[in-house]
Structure 1
Amino acid sequence: MNTNKENNREGKRKQEQSAADLDKMISEMEKRISEIEMEEMLSGYTAEELAEMGFIGDNSINIEHSKYLKNKFAEGYDFPEDINYLKYYPVKSVEQIESIDLSNITVIHPDTAVIKLTIAPNKVNYYNKEFNDEQYQKECNLNFKRENNKFIITPKVSGRLVLAGHRLYLIPSDRDGKCVIRISDDSMAVYVDLIQATGNGAKLTEEMILNELQLSGVKAGIKMEAIRDSLERIKTSKSEKNILVAQGMPAKDGRDAPVQFLFDPEPVVEEFRVLPDGRVDYRKQANIRMTKKGEILAVVGKAEPGIDGYNVLGKMIKAINGESNVLCAGQNVVVTDDGKFKAVCDGQISLNGKVLSVFLHYMVEGDVDYGCGNISFNGNVTIKGSVLPGFEVKAEGDIVVMKNVDRATLKAGRDIKINSGIIGSKDTVVTCGRNLSAQYLQNAIVEAQGDVTIGNSVMQSVIFSAGNVVVNGIKGMIVGGYVCALNGIDARIIGSQYGTKTTVEVGKDYLVQKKIIEIDKAIQFCEDNVKKIDTSMLSVYSSVKKGLAMGDDKMQKIRAVQQKRAELVKHREIMQWKKTELEKKAITNPFAAINIEDTIFADVVIKIASQVSTIKMKANHVKYHLDNKKEKIVGNRM
């Protein structure tokens, strides 16, 4: 009980002590504030005084500089008492100070004024160099005579003094009017600064300005009105700056011949359509541009010639005439004298750059099957149905399949467009000279010398592309197989959570890569057969070691086997050498990249140029590219 009372008393005592300490601190602060206010009044730093000086508040700080100085010494110069001067900032040329109003500066005359400059011994050489500067000597109008560490300075003419930095200038009181000419870097404009004459100097005239322009090489585009106006203005001003007195005329390029296409040169492709039952059909609808014999496809107008220009130096600027050859007639198209492009047959319109062609068109109303047979055509082929297993379609132009390609072979000189998908096999290849597009690939082998665009999925397929591979549909996934693209791969998903073996490669030319794969297979064939021969010969060699007699016929057979083995080894070595040479010649793209919009799963193998990397763990929204400095594949979040 006593302990509790003691604790209460101790707590109360501490509270009282804390309150006393706080009162003491507040008292000290009040005392300090009073001292500060007293110091403000004594020092002139009250709020009112600071505001009046402009140190606080809205008033500006006013600094009074005397423009005209009469002090005896400045920058080491000793001026006579009856001489004043204008102090100015350092300048590179006297032109910067010639137009200043010096009316309040005393005029000094030759032999009536002597100015002295005393300098430190270690600065003598510096000032000696400064005063002997060729431009300064020409502009300063002063004589300099050195006497040990002093310079005696006298005026050459009557005038007024300006001290610009540490350089002294005498601006003549009788000075002719001056015209300073500046020609633009492109020689298309001439600007002048006019400085009015002073005293008895010759006043500026139109003839003087024209003469200066002529001496500067200005021959064309002279604006006489601007010159006359500036001469009027300078009568009431000291100077006129940046007056445009001559201007060239830029060349006007001609207009290319206008082209009027009588077909849509960029047809719209429907990405999807809504079916009657409300479902969405994501199979793209091919928009094929067709024409009939004799139809006018385009009309080309006349090109406009250019108009030559000139610069102020009188040099002609050649204009570019409008291009007449803006459209060329390609296959099955003729041009009339009045610029009309006509089709000479029924077919499909093709606009490749500026070449307009009509390709003969072969239309299959249904499937490519036994009723139709294999197709080989020198134009475009459109198949409204599917290409059934085992059949071939070859076309020098485009191939369009409105439905599926099922374990069939397609070869197009240009594009292949599949509205649905391609189901392949190890014996069927789909190849094209430009771009290929489809909704899906399954167990397919595809080769394109342009881009490959797949809407939804690539499953256990092989793709070779000399451009880009893009899998960007709703699923947008590459699962299993091998995809090789020279420029890059874009997909939503690559690989699967089940570790499906998937390899993606960029930066290599597939035409070379394909041959390398074929050579690798041939090399492997040789190696496998050498091993088979070695295995089968072991028992034979064992028998020979045991002393088993061999007849001539048996020895002849053994030598034939040995000869075959040597042949296989030689073939393998040659192919390995040729593979190495082929790899050296391969086109590579070190900037190729693999872009993952959604997910890349573990165990996917990535190859970029000569580097290989296996994904260790799942990653999202990542871009893989080659770090040339570190010589390895790196991944960055997109």
Structure 2
Amino acid sequence: MSDIVFGSEKEGFLLEILSEGVFLTIYVPKENSPFFKDVTLLCALLKKHGIKNYKITDLLKTIQEHSGVRSEIVAPEAAQEKVIPVPVIDISKDKMEAVISFSGDDGEFQYDRDYIMELLADKNITYGIDKALIDEFVKVPSCSQVIAQGKIAKNGENAYIKKYIDFSQKGRPSSGNYGKVNYKDMNLCFLVAKGDPLAERIPQTKGENGMNIMGQEIICRPGKPIPLTKGKNTEIIDENLLIAAIDGQAIEEGNRITVDPKLEISSDVDVSTGNINFNGSVFIKGNVQDGFSVRADGDVHIGGTVSGGTVEARNIYIEGGILGMRRGKIYAREDIRTNFIENADITAERDIYIADVALHSEINAGRKIIIKDRRGQVVGGHSTAGVLIDVKILGNFMDIVTKVEVGVNPIINKKYRLITDSIGNDKKQLKNIKNALNMLGTGEKLSAERQEKFARLKRMQFPLAGKLEREEAELKEISGQLKSMDNAKIRVSDKVNPGVKIIVAKFLYTVQTEAQHCSFSADVKRECVSLNPY
């Protein structure tokens, strides 16, 4: 074997492969120069030149001593004998993982954890070292093992908008019990109240930096922001929450959500729309078909007719007319205005205005019924108003029974009874509370239980007294409305046909012969209905 020499004093080691043996010198490091520790390099050089029969412990001992003394590590006769393999550490290209392996048999493994830690240090591996996995490898070296692993950088998540309304369900029928589809509830509008949450911005996150096994930081990518856009009639609170500023319907317009206090429907209210239940005002260009309903907290304006449908709102305007078909009902908390009604049941807490005719219908108005445009005629049915009925014609030439009544307001009468009953109950309860307080005394020198009872009664007393005061004020107002009905009258600018029944207050008058340009009022002294000029 030819002589070969590796290294130098400057490199910190000298490996001599000679015919008389193999020698290793580990020099004492000079000032500012590192210790030589790379046993893996020495093993690789020996293996490359067929030097197998050496003891790894001899190598380690020479390296640890750094004496600068030339040491024989392989005798001449053993230079070509088998050498014990050493563990090898492979580092992944991204420096995120270190894998240790051993090519020899388990019985040839002569290393411990400290040795492997030195190997890691030689390769500048400082982060993510798992000593438990190193111990596992030491026990079973024939199995390769990941003994160091970096921390993957976690990129930040982008901000996104979380919507509290599923606008994709618009126009789709809702599902009821047992999965049944309700085609009268088509989710045509999404109703919201003031203060309801509409959308929320979930902010972006910064992410978390990672680290490779060499201890080098891996910078993460932060999430991207997204704006929370404010739509009409909405507000942003706490920077990330969009709420409704008013009652109405929520509408999605691109990346905005707006709240509209009115609902516009360009078609009929039928199976394509389902029933309408809205907390604002509703504008319908078409008709309300049989069996469908429109309910609104605001006003309802219908461009066509109501055919057997139900409408409830504050004010109701029906341009076409009302075909009740003896099923539909119209109810307004204030006024109703329409062109005609037939076989309908309509009620307004204030006034009803009909442009043309009212045929065979139940009409109830808290104050006035006015039918004076065009024909201005009432035929059949029962019309009731609190203060005034003013029409052109009552009945027709066929003497169809037509009943008209004033001086009665069922809605006001019902309110009067309810408030009167409530006032009586509240006065009784307030009296009982005062009696109980008087029995308990001033609240001094009472047991804890009686003191608690005394305080509870005191808390009940003042809200109840306030409620009673409000009820008495409302009763006074209603009493004034009832008093105004004393002067109720029916006015007919053209004629009254025979067969018409006139009721003023509690007095009845049946028209036997045609009367023209007249009015009817109550004659309290004579206890009858008085026929007067228009």
TM-score, normalized by length of structure 2? 0.39
Q: Which has the larger radius of gyration?
A: 2
Higher relative contact order (CA 8 A, sep 6+): 2
